[in-house]
Amino acid sequence: MRRLGPLLLVLAAGLALGEGPAWPRPSAETVLLRCQEVVQGLRVQALYREGGAFLVLLGEERPLLLLALEEGRPLPHAGPLRGRPLGKRPLPFLRELTLARQVVVLAGEYRCFVLHRGRVVGVLRLGPDLSPLPLFPPGEAPPLP
């Protein structure tokens, strides 16, 4: 019993300091289902030409994902959005986007990995309420053509 007392004190202190869950967390399956809904609803919002590649801005109402497109294959693109705006066009790879089976939980957000033919091409971020988080902070969104 003497050894159990300090352990309980440490656990209680950890909970008191806020190291427990910050919000009621939904199950990983619930988060993945929501991510799947968002991925299925992605549409091309803008297309830019940068060098020999295209940059594709995907989203619903707001930009959510930025991909590079080289030789018809989407690739990850983490850099800033640059290039010359082009007109929108249908892109067949959108139907092939899927999700990894893993969800990463961070402080205040969930992250789902978007795949194209088994390769990670982007990260979709959801807030605690499972609403998609925009790619750009408010007021910093790029001009859409």
Beta bridge partners of 132: 126
pLDDT of res. 6: 42
Those residues whose C-beta lies under 8 Å from the C-beta of residue 39, and which sit 6 or more positions away, are 97, 98, 99, 112, 114, 124
Please provide the average confidence, as pLDDT, over all residues in the chain.
81
pLDDT surpassing 50 at residue 97? yes
Question: Residues 27-55: what's their mean pLDDT?
Answer: 90
Those residues whose C-beta lies under 8 Å from the C-beta of residue 53, and which sit 6 or more positions away, are 68, 69, 70, 75
Domain ranges of the chain: 33-126
pLDDT of res. 23: 56
For the chain, what is the radius of gyration of the CA atoms? 20
Q: Which of 20, 34, 19 is nearest to 127 (CA)?
A: 34
Q: How far apart are CA 99 and CA 33, in angstroms?
A: 10
